[in-house]
Amino acid sequence: MLKKMNKKVFIRSFGCQMNEHDSARLKDLLIERGYAICGSPEDANAVIFNTCSVRKHAEDRVYGKVGTLGEFKIKKPGLIIGIIGCMAEARRDEIFRKLPIVDFLCGPADLDRIPDIIDKIKNGAGRIMYLEGYKSKIIPAFSRKRFTGKTAYVKIMEGCDNFCSYCIVPYVRGRERSRASKEILEEIGLLIKKGAKDITLLGQNVNSYGKGLQEKINFVALLKKIDKIARSAKISFFTSHPKDASLELFKAMRDLKSIVNILHLPIQSGSDKILKRMNRKYTVAKYKKLALDYRKIVKGGNLSGDIIVGFPGETEKDFNDTFNIVKKLQFDAAYIFKYSPRPFTKAAGFKDDVTLKEKERRHTLLLDLQRNILSNKKLLCSRPGLEHSN
């Protein structure tokens, strides 16, 4: 009984769906090792923050939250505090230096080690840093023994080889690696058997699925295999890179009954000069053509994008080009971010020459534009018959 009381863990996830998914798997691993998951840090013997490094703001939030745990640690000296995920990789030395209350760091590809890490610390091992997994070529399986519910994420690939000049992901999540299709299909089959109705396939760049696997397979071929076993479940996927999205993918979305017609295709900028500096490997014209092809082939399909404002060297003209393309493309959702220099990245070496005030101005302009686009779309949808009139 006493043993069980010492095994309560609180896990909080920051950032993207991939982190959410990793946290769910970590909970499963800890439960298998006899831990109970608790709903608040006050009740826990171990507190774990699964962190994000994609923008500085995300890191600042974690620093703030960990700071508030100091009090708990004074009241409960045996409390174990772990920082895991992207920030553990990116800020390894800084976290241990700045936050003496943190007991362990563990990278996103090392989560399987966490139960052992906690045991070791309990046995007096001192602070532990485990950050080698990003070099791994393997994505560990998720047993799903405890799955209940209707929605689920399934990881199909992880990591990124694109090295967009602003992005920290390739440095913290490592190189692209895919899971064998057999393993993915088994996991999806089990989830469906247990009642899953909405399944989202996850990867930093799902369109690169299959690269490096022994079997000859690509993303579209995987979707076709999944569609055959999907029954009444709906399958979505996230994220696609415009340089790899293809007509073949759009046709598969149109033809495969289980695939949801939602495409998240981050554009990032409407200026060719900025796209080149971002190392995005496509032009605005190519993106525009893709978006038009998508809308033509996948009738009524939902299209969303990410945009960064205030990238180094972004002039008023470059921003206006972004503004105009957003207006033209009429995204169903647009996620707009202020550029934030990230360690290790190429752009960190560029002069961050757009002031914060100007980034905020551009951010607000785009948000307002997107809000208008959405309210016009809603207006159109709520007037029956309008689409059929001339």
Could you list the residues that contact ligand 5AD (CB under 6 A)? 54-55, 166-167, 266, 268, 306, 308, 337, 339-340, 342
Which of 186, 192, 183 lies closest to 234 in space, CA to CA? 192
Choose among ligand 5AD, ligand SF4, none what residue 113 binds, the Cβ cut-off being 5 to 8 Å by kind: none
Secondary structure string (H, E, C) spanning the chain: CHHHHCCEEEEEECCCHHHHHHHHHHHHHHHHCCCEECCCHHHCCEEEEEECCCCHHHHHHHHHHHHCCHHHHHHCCCCEEEEEEHHHHHCHHHHHHHCCCCCEEECCCCHHHHHHHHHHHHCCCCCEEECCHHHCCCCCCCCCCCCCCCEEEEECEECCCCCCCCCCHHHHCCCCEECCHHHHHHHHHHHHHCCCCEEEEECCCHHHCCCCCCCCCCHHHHHHHHHHHCCCCEEEEECCCCCCCCHHHHHHHHHCCCECCEEECCCECCCHHHHHHCCCCCCHHHHHHHHHHHHHHCCCCEEEEEEEECCCCCCHHHHHHHHHHHHHHCCCEEEEEECCCCCCCHHHHCCCCCCHHHHHHHHHHHHHHHHHHHHHHHHHHCCCCHHHCC
Choice between 47 and 263, CB closer to ligand 5AD: 263
Choose among ligand SF4, ligand 5AD, none what residue 241 binds, the Cβ cut-off being 5 to 8 Å by kind: ligand SF4
Choice between 204 and 322, CB closer to ligand SF4: 204
Q: Which residues bind ligand SF4 (CB under 6 A)?
A: 160, 162-164, 167, 169-170, 204-205, 241
CB of 343 to ligand 5AD, least distance (A): 10
CB of 239 to ligand SF4, least distance (A): 7
CB of 168 to ligand 5AD, least distance (A): 7
Choice between 188 and 308, CB closer to ligand SF4: 308
CB of 135 to ligand SF4, least distance (A): 17
Choice between 41 and 107, CB closer to ligand SF4: 107
Choice between 104 and 166, CB closer to ligand 5AD: 166
CB of 306 to ligand SF4, least distance (A): 8
CB of 47 to ligand 5AD, least distance (A): 26
Choose among ligand 5AD, ligand SF4, none what residue 340 binds, the Cβ cut-off being 5 to 8 Å by kind: ligand 5AD
CB of 310 to ligand 5AD, least distance (A): 8
Choose among ligand SF4, ligand 5AD, none what residue 170 binds, the Cβ cut-off being 5 to 8 Å by kind: ligand SF4
Choice between 13 and 340, CB closer to ligand 5AD: 340
**Which residue has its beta carbon closest to ligand 5AD?**
306
Choose among ligand 5AD, ligand SF4, none what residue 55 binds, the Cβ cut-off being 5 to 8 Å by kind: ligand 5AD
**What is the number of residues in the chain?**
390
